[in-house]
Amino acid sequence: MGREIRRVIPNWEHPKRENGSYQPLYDRSASESFAEWMEEFNTFKRDELKEVCDEHDYDINDPYSVFCEWHGSPPDHNYHRQYWSESSATWWQVYETVSEGTPVSPPFETQEELVSYLIENGDFWDQSRRREGRAAMIDCSPWSRRKAENFVFGSGWAPSGVISSGVFMSGVDALCDRE
């Protein structure tokens, strides 16, 4: 899965569903996403609504439905984290980004603590694969120091996977553990 480092508030506890799994969340609040959606809606009504309705025989008196058809419904608050200011998000946490985002490490006060955790444990998926005996399918060992430091102190993002010269490797391995 893709990985990114997110800045979170101190001692952040990512919400869980009733079944105990993490609730996927975008890295922004619902109010921030809704404000952006409303701005796009107002721009659509002003600049595109008439043309779209004429071209596709939509009812111009129902701009909300037309916009939702073309741009999607308003943001679902269940898939957005709570609001916090950038200045209050001082901790570091690794997330998978295939869904809206779920944590694959605990939150840490410093980048150095996060690096130490990854060196000792790998991420949650690595740990799960080792517990389930799936280590032969994909490397799930704890991260090398170089890999952890390159990821945490580098771009803080990697794709799900990379195929290079016919060999599949995780995106973190491909981007962060090279010479």
Q: pLDDT of 86-123, one tens digit each?
A: 999 999 999 999 889 999 999 999 999 999 999 999 99
What does the alpha-carbon distance between residue 134 and residue 110 come to, in Å, rounded to a whole number?
31
CA–CA separation, 147 and 179 (whole Å): 10
What is the rounded average pLDDT of the residues 36-49? 96
Nearest-angstrom CA–CA distance, 103 and 6: 9
Q: Does the pLDDT of residue 37 top 70, yes or no?
A: yes
Does position 148 have pLDDT exceeding 70, yes or no? yes
**Alpha-carbon span 179 to 171, nearest angstrom:** 15
The pLDDT assigned to 179 comes to 45
CA 116 to chain CA centroid, nearest Å: 22
123-148 in b/e burial notation, b at 16+ Cβ within 10 A?
bbbbeebeeeeeeeeeebebbeeebb
Host H or E run for residue 73:
none
Q: What is the mean pLDDT of residues 116-140?
A: 87
pLDDT digits (tens, 9 = 90+) for 69-84: 989 999 999 999 999 9
End-to-end CA distance of the chain: 22
- The structure's pTM equals 0.86
Residue 64 has pLDDT above 80, yes or no: yes
